[in-house]
Amino acid sequence: MTTVSRREILQASALSAAALGAAALAAPAMASPLDHARMLPEGLPPREFAAAVAELRAIVGQQWVFADADSTLPYTKSLIPDPDHRHVPSGAVAPASVEEVQAILKVANRYRLPLWPISTGKNMGYGMATPASSGQMVLDLKRMNRIIEIDAELGTALVEPGVTYQDLRDYLDANNLPFWLDVPTVGPIVSPVGNTLERGVGYTPYGDHFFMQCGMEVVLADGTLVRTGMGSVPGSTSWQAFKWGYGPYLDGIFTQSNFGVVTKLGFWLMPAPPAYKPFVVQFDEMDDVAKITDTIRPFRMNNLIPNGVLIMGAAYQLAMFHRRADFWTETRQIPDAVVKAEARKRGLGMWNTYFALYGTDEIIAAVEPIVRGAFEAAGGKVLTATEMSDNPWFRHHASLMKGGMTLEEIGIVRWRGTEGGMVAFAPVAPAKGTETRGQTALAKEILAKYDFDYAPAYAVGGRELHHIIFLLYDKGHPAEERKADACVREMITRFAERGWAAYRTGVSTMDLVAQQYGDANRALNARIKHALDPNHILAPGKQGIA
Amino acid sequence: MSRARSLGLTAIGVMAFTTLGALPFAMAAGAQPAQIKPGQTSPEPRSPQRIYAATCGYCHGANVGPVIMGRHLPQKAIMAFVRKGQGAMPAFRPTEISDTELAALAAWIERAPAVPKEHGQ
């Protein structure tokens, strides 16, 4: 069992008396942002920052502006490498309403105060709540937590940014609404709004979250309130029913962007099917990823396999419930033979492909032999709950593929040390075996150069895969943190030399990934940004857009 | 699976939808169903048990984080761990778990007996 050491407890107690005390143990006079030397927005003199903070406190209430180093502490936590401390926020402000967001933006425009919006700030592999550049003030939307509408006939939801998947699950259960959610791997503590806006994925047939999104409300930098799609029509009853509206489709420009603050988001809920059957297919060689890709492609194209499939590498699976030192104590990359042997002991393959069938028993009975036959012909071992019901990894994925709440995958962050450390590099691969084999080989080579292990998950879309490469390191060792930073940058650069770029990235590499998409793309985004946010107060640097 | 049984399953699914469709769950945009108000925006602070089940317990005692129940960890240390994000743990902010809720949660964990079914990793 992992323990919390006495040293940690003593340190924490001391911290609680000082740092935490201001926020949590009493209600002292508000700390001034000028009390101590600290991170401030670039180009904003300290007295102007203090004046802006005073105005923000007048809008949201004193307790909802965090403008001293101590109360800002929870916003600084990040698991990705930041060896030069380039992603430290100056503070945070937490509005409770759209009107408060609009008022905050007025203040931000006047003072040129950069704001970094978050919904729950639990973007684990990409920087949590931390901004693209130091000094930005976090715009924490967690207090905006209303489930505004659930339409039980259409199976649609409209929620605010602070609603978590757990909140929504609890609401559906409490009201006996027969819908499944589609969750990312950290569902209980994250927001459908935040995950969808980052174009995250899940593992049911509704796994492409942005595809299932329908309508949003956005506050632009000048305070203008816009509803996208049918939401622009006064009295519309189809805001959450029809995505495209009329004229240019706008929702996309507010995802992975800094063009506005999304304050409401609509999306579709999956009707709970009468029958559900999860599967895992195991392959034993690293190179088998090509066969898996080529086998699964036609089933995702024709939708016989309807869900967001995960092809889980063995090291990723092991890292969920184990630590590296359980298997390997050398510094260099853990060899495939060791990973394979340890995986086998636990009933896992080198690759573990999780998919599910949904519908009625007749539908599943008709489809299963077709899919099973194809995987078996490719050399895979097809297993179901009959053989795997006691296997914790199978149970985990069987739950995910029906939208179950779990945080078990967070365990991977402690693979190398108790302080945690993880950054995701997620290049897109077309669904062709030659491409996934090439990406796996290149990732292993670069990671080995830096003594990191290859812990991958391929998330299969329709005609592509997100190759999510979790670089697991020990943030408790500064030299290793710096090495991890260099490693992820080399992966981004060298993958791009082969035409492979990330679909999403952490705050420390947003500009680097934007470079891979070329000058014309960047210039267009810059023009839209400047038109919508001429003072560049919203999340400068997000996705490489200043 | 027999045809009769599978038809029965399908019928149950259809019935569920028909019944729900007749109920007034659909609300006009802007209407507020039973509110979910975590954090300080809640009219009533959530109980420590509820917060533990909805947040802490997904990791602690569930093979991801260390067991914390039954170890009589000091309240102030727990509060600091939560706000800082101890080790590999995420930090939780006052907008997620209010100061009032956190103080009660940490006191409850300090006093709590061990839970036999929990296991650490």
Overall fold of domain A147-271: 3.30.465
Task: Examine the pLDDT at B103 and tell me if it is beyond 80.
Answer: yes
pLDDT category of residue A218 using cuts at 50, 70 and 90: very high
Task: Examine the pLDDT at B8 and tell me if it is beyond 50.
Answer: no
B18 backbone dihedrals φ, ψ, rounded to 5°: -60, -45
Task: Examine the pLDDT at A1 and tell me if it is beyond 70.
Answer: no
pLDDT digits over A101-116, tens only? 999 999 999 999 999 9
pLDDT digits over B37-57, tens only? 434 344 589 999 999 999 999
Kindly list the residues from chain A whose CB atom is less than 8 angstroms away from the CB atom of residue B63.
Answer: 321, 392, 408, 411
Would you state the pLDDT for residue B37? Answer: 40
Contact state of B103 with A24 under an 8 Å Cβ cutoff: yes
Average pLDDT of the segment spanning A241-246: 97
* Residue A316 annotated to the active site: no
* Residue A126 annotated to the active site: yes
Task: Examine the pLDDT at A10 and tell me if it is beyond 70.
Answer: no
Average pLDDT of the segment spanning A408-435: 96
Task: Examine the pLDDT at A313 and tell me if it is beyond 70.
Answer: yes
Is residue A510 a contact partner of residue A102, using CB atoms and an 8 Å limit? Answer: no
Contact state of B86 with A174 under an 8 Å Cβ cutoff: no
- From the list A126, A165, A203, A206, the catalytic residue is A126
Q: Which residues pair with A118 in a beta bridge?
A: A140
Task: Examine the pLDDT at A121 and tell me if it is beyond 80.
Answer: yes
> Which domains are present in chain B?
38-121 (1.10.760.10)
- How far is Cα A420 from Cα A77, in angstroms, rounded to an integer? 11
Of A25, A158, A275, the CB nearest to B29: A158
Residue among A319, A343, A331, A513 nearest A421 (CA): A319
pLDDT digits over A19-74, tens only? 444 444 434 456 677 776 678 998 999 999 999 999 999 999 999 999 998 999 99
Would you state the pLDDT for residue A116? Answer: 98
pLDDT category of residue B33 using cuts at 50, 70 and 90: very low
Overall fold of domain A275-505: Vanillyl-alcohol Oxidase; Chain A, domain 3 (3.40.462)
CATH architecture of A39-140: 2-Layer Sandwich (3.30)
Please, what's the b/e burial string for A354-372 (b: 16 or more CB within 10 A of its CB; e: otherwise)? Answer: bbbbbbbbebbeebbeebe
Would you state the pLDDT for residue A31? Answer: 65
Of B29, B65, B102, the CB nearest to A148: B29
Would you state the pLDDT for residue B36? Answer: 39
Strand bridging mode A261-268 / A225-227: unpaired
Average pLDDT of the segment spanning A201-222: 98
* Residue B112 annotated to the active site: no
Task: Examine the pLDDT at B1 and tell me if it is beyond 70.
Answer: no
User: In chain A, where are the structural domains located?
Assistant: 39-140, 147-271, 275-505, 511-544
pLDDT category of residue A134 using cuts at 50, 70 and 90: very high
Would you state the pLDDT for residue B63? Answer: 87
SS (H, E, C) A2-30: CCCCHHHHHHHHHHHHHHHHHHHHCCCCC
Average pLDDT of the segment spanning A400-419: 96
Task: Examine the pLDDT at B31 and tell me if it is beyond 70.
Answer: no
- How far is Cα B7 from Cα A361, in angstroms, rounded to an integer? 9
Tokens standing for A462?
């329709």
Q: Do domains A39-140 and A275-505 have the same CATH topology?
A: no
Tally of CB atoms within 10 A around A109? 16
Task: Examine the pLDDT at B16 and tell me if it is beyond 60.
Answer: no
More confident residue, B12 or A537: A537
Q: Which residues pair with A503 in a beta bridge?
A: none
Task: Examine the pLDDT at A406 and tell me if it is beyond 90.
Answer: yes
pLDDT digits over A520-539, tens only? 999 999 999 999 999 999 99
Residues in chain B: 121
Would you state the pLDDT for residue A4? Answer: 59
- How far is Cα A218 from Cα A213, in angstroms, rounded to an integer? 14
Contact state of B74 with A414 under an 8 Å Cβ cutoff: no
Would you state the pLDDT for residue A38? Answer: 75
Would you state the pLDDT for residue A22? Answer: 40
- How far is Cα B51 from Cα B97, in angstroms, rounded to an integer? 8
Specify the range with the lowest mean pLDDT, choosing from A21-25, A70-74, A158-162, A308-312: A21-25
Residue among A131, A63, A414 nearest B86 (CA): A414
pLDDT digits over A363-374, tens only? 999 999 999 999
**How large a percentage of chain A has pLDDT more than 90?**
92
Residue among B97, B79, B105 nearest B41 (CA): B97
Please, what's the b/e burial string for A289-327 (b: 16 or more CB within 10 A of its CB; e: otherwise)? Answer: bbbbbbbbbebbeeebbbbbbbbbbbbbbbbbbbbbeeb
Q: pTM here?
A: 0.91
- How far is Cα B68 from Cα B66, in angstroms, rounded to an integer? 6
Average pLDDT of the segment spanning A414-426: 96
More confident residue, B21 or A244: A244
Query: By the CB < 8 Å criterion, does B70 face chain A?
Result: no
Task: Examine the pLDDT at A452 and tell me if it is beyond 50.
Answer: yes
Q: Calculate Rg over the CA atoms of chain B.
A: 21
Chain B residue with minimal CA distance to A407?
A: B58
A350 backbone dihedrals φ, ψ, rounded to 5°: -65, -35
Chain A residue with minimal CA distance to B92?
A: A74
Would you state the pLDDT for residue A66? Answer: 97
Would you state the pLDDT for residue A11? Answer: 61
Would you state the pLDDT for residue A93? Answer: 98
Contact state of B84 with A189 under an 8 Å Cβ cutoff: no
pLDDT category of residue A239 using cuts at 50, 70 and 90: very high
